[in-house]
Structure 1
């Protein structure tokens, strides 16, 4: 593609007010000297077709690489449609919200598991909108490793996507736009300087490991950032339970949590006693224990002291505040009396946190929010996940992290725990999707990997637990300088 074509495109975008200069408040709350509104392109069909052609050319012969294209809803849908029609490539539509009737699909269109899809977006800042679409497609078994955007604002989106194994192609960059308009005499040099200063001051490159592995290749890509050690994280976070957990992880050289989903108390206690030296957390589902008793809880607590690990009851509270408060404190389980950590679904709103917090805060307990899930077709994506992060930020004195499939925030107060981890990736007959320890820690940013059947169903659970401990900890070491 020639510079003349790009110059003409930039001039047109300025002429139709898709590029504006002044003082604008962005969605993030930042004040920007430039505002990009590419939605106006839909009123110029010929120009929209030209944009689609330029974007397709930028991917360099993409017709041999992809079975589908998918536009990020909603602004990029018209552009994706133009690419689909012009290049004769089937299009997929990702819904932002699932239907509560009919097929309840999140992805519309015909596809096969393993198909590759090109993501189409109009503008990228942080890359979060692209990642939401990628996650939805991944949940359906569709592979994504490339995205094309008309304009990259150069504020960290490209590196964030690279952290998730996705190469971002862009037709234009924000710097290119302002410098071209200045060369054409459309804007003063002061606007170029203001824009360049804004880009430099608001570049949010996400902290990512020194090597990542994409879902479609075993070749590692180099990226530029590093993570903090467990000791440094312990010093940065505020909650005493988080500090204790990071201290355990540092002392025992492990980021492994054992999910001990067995139905007999003696079986649970036996495997916890043998595997306890290799884990930082033991996660239970006490409502499946057929012979539950207070004696069982006492023995479990003794093992936690003996082997120095945290107890996490995976109750997933999901009701109004008063109800969850009763469930947490009462009944035969009396969870608040022994579980260091519990988790909740954010779907009822902040009341579900307040109900647990009413008792748990004074006891020094902590809470995790289920912000993402590892099961195929789950609805914990997009705006739901964003709302979960916001709720956590509102309750930092009690919420210590997330159950998730990706790193949701760089705030040191929040620990990211990723379930669905096995030594080899894949899925099961009930829709559980597995990641390797390396993938979970290096690619997805997990602080803690949660392993269940991979250990408790192993012929030799102890040696298997050692394997997971070493794999998870070695992956963590790769994220350090």
Structure 2
């Protein structure tokens, strides 16, 4: 069973046991909510508890979280943490909700050493308040907290609050994913989905909110990355290729790039003609195609003109300047002749930009720098990312943007004219078995601050690639519009 199918099955099961209910529920805050999530019931269903614990462990491993022990937020998360501890041989600690005034008078029970890193396990996050109630006593005894894993994120501002305290949230199920699956399975009406979404949007919590995790409201502080329109961004760039792309996306109403990692040039051409009307960019790997020939570039450019999209050869140049001049301009592939966009690692230093610029700038091409990557264990982060931003600032006429995963969290300021493209996007999130980590279009655009979603297997391996491309196009564009 694929990760996406496993997640869908869990959502349906949670609905069956009434862990997720719909109606009119008065919350502790006094608000009347159309949805109530009660995960206390899962202790009576061993299959569900095991599935929940398994999915939560998987999301931690996919995201590369590292920790020495774990602590469940009392009380609902305690059986989940226990299950995760037993299944994965990870030491567990317990926080007392009420500290006794006799005996050891400990707030944290278990064997641990000051300086160890402790994972926090929670069932549901709304504002993040109950998580913070566990962070404090852990820190008081010398434990370091960096990561929080949760089954359901109600998407009401909890992630932003935790991030403000340098905590990274790993959620198996954003509430929007639950709603989408239940609607697709005919377990919710479109009207009810709209009602729940409206309630969530109207009752956002902020970093200073208080209250329990079932929906206490406070002053709205949406965790959405606010952006300028694509049309305005076109006026802020010096690179012709970026300007053309911004205007293309605005004109065509799509921010979808398809990573067409098929096995032959013939397959690529057929796919490009089919999905061309839905995309702004077609991403290629020309060295994958055994049947590549001199007609490839011209044929692809004809399709790009026909369907109004740009071509991005994902070459990932990584050599010294003198070498990349030849790799980009000549050789078998002659990439600069037919690809509007290419990309490069910054490992060799700024000389790689100088070399590619010598070839690409006269042709009106654009370069993306790999500032971050979506694979597990990537080294493209931290100082590496900051160095990529600094290099881009020195070449605004040729560097059009970045391959990135979460530009909204970058420390340094960067030009609003630069394009952010994020790979590893799937409607269901999750990951594969080779270290790729997926994220949803909504999250990538609205929270991570990206501009272009890059989708591969979710489209070219779909039973109906055209229908799948149309679905991703709509998801990406709707997310962009709602974040303006």
Instruction: Place the TM-score, normalised by the shorter chain, in its bin.
Output: 0.5 to 0.7
- In the alignment, the residues of structure 2 paired with residue 461 and residue 385 of structure 1 have an alpha-carbon distance, to the nearest angstrom, of 34
- In the alignment, the residues of structure 2 paired with residue 380 and residue 167 of structure 1 have an alpha-carbon distance, to the nearest angstrom, of 20
Match of 2:329 in 1: 329
1:91–1:109 CA contact under 8 A, matched in 2? no
Match of 1:446 in 2: 450
- TM-score w.r.t. length of structure 2: 0.59
Match of 2:421 in 1: 417
Match of 2:313 in 1: 313
Runs of 4+ that moved beyond 6 A:
63-69, 84-87, 108-121
Match of 2:344 in 1: 344
Match of 1:234 in 2: 234
| Pair 1:429 & 2:385 matched | no
2:150–2:170 CA contact under 8 A, matched in 1? no
- In the alignment, the residues of structure 2 paired with residue 319 and residue 113 of structure 1 have an alpha-carbon distance, to the nearest angstrom, of 44
| Pair 1:392 & 2:383 matched | no
Match of 2:294 in 1: 294
How far apart are residue 113 of structure 1 and its match?
11
- In the alignment, the residues of structure 1 paired with residue 158 and residue 243 of structure 2 have an alpha-carbon distance, to the nearest angstrom, of 30
How far apart are residue 329 of structure 1 and its match?
1.0
1:274–1:462 CA contact under 8 A, matched in 2? yes
How far apart are residue 411 of structure 1 and its match?
1.7
- In the alignment, the residues of structure 1 paired with residue 281 and residue 406 of structure 2 have an alpha-carbon distance, to the nearest angstrom, of 20
Query: After superposition, where does 1:244-393 map in structure 2 within 5 Å?
Result: 244-393=244-393
Match of 1:166 in 2: 162
- In the alignment, the residues of structure 2 paired with residue 478 and residue 112 of structure 1 have an alpha-carbon distance, to the nearest angstrom, of 32
- In the alignment, the residues of structure 1 paired with residue 399 and residue 160 of structure 2 have an alpha-carbon distance, to the nearest angstrom, of 26
Match of 2:178 in 1: none
Match of 2:171 in 1: 215
Query: After superposition, where does 1:16-27 map in structure 2 within 5 Å?
Result: none
1:263–1:289 CA contact under 8 A, matched in 2? yes
- In the alignment, the residues of structure 2 paired with residue 250 and residue 92 of structure 1 have an alpha-carbon distance, to the nearest angstrom, of 53
Distance 1:92 1:421, change over 3 A: farther
- In the alignment, the residues of structure 1 paired with residue 395 and residue 336 of structure 2 have an alpha-carbon distance, to the nearest angstrom, of 18
What do the CA deviations read for 1:24-66 (whole angstroms, capped 9, x no partner)?
xxxxxxxxxxxxxxxxxxxxxxxxxxxxxxxxxxx999x9799
- In the alignment, the residues of structure 2 paired with residue 317 and residue 91 of structure 1 have an alpha-carbon distance, to the nearest angstrom, of 45
Distance 1:298 1:245, change over 3 A: same
SS at match of 1:349: coil
What do the CA deviations read for 1:255-306 (whole angstroms, capped 9, x no partner)?
0001111121111111100100000000000000110011111100100111
- In the alignment, the residues of structure 1 paired with residue 229 and residue 426 of structure 2 have an alpha-carbon distance, to the nearest angstrom, of 24
How far apart are residue 355 of structure 1 and its match?
1.0
- In the alignment, the residues of structure 2 paired with residue 91 and residue 304 of structure 1 have an alpha-carbon distance, to the nearest angstrom, of 60
1:92–1:110 CA contact under 8 A, matched in 2? no
SS at match of 1:166: helix
1:396–1:413 CA contact under 8 A, matched in 2? no
Match of 1:198 in 2: none
SS at match of 2:362: coil
- TM-score w.r.t. length of structure 1: 0.59
Distance 1:474 1:306, change over 3 A: same
Distance 1:169 1:435, change over 3 A: closer
SS at match of 1:390: helix
- In the alignment, the residues of structure 1 paired with residue 482 and residue 475 of structure 2 have an alpha-carbon distance, to the nearest angstrom, of 11
| Pair 1:465 & 2:463 matched | no
Structure 1: state its 5+ residue gaps. Answer: 1-58, 70-83, 94-107, 122-129, 146-160, 171-212
How far apart are residue 424 of structure 1 and its match?
0.5
- In the alignment, the residues of structure 2 paired with residue 399 and residue 478 of structure 1 have an alpha-carbon distance, to the nearest angstrom, of 28
CA RMSD in angstroms, aligned pairs only: 3.8
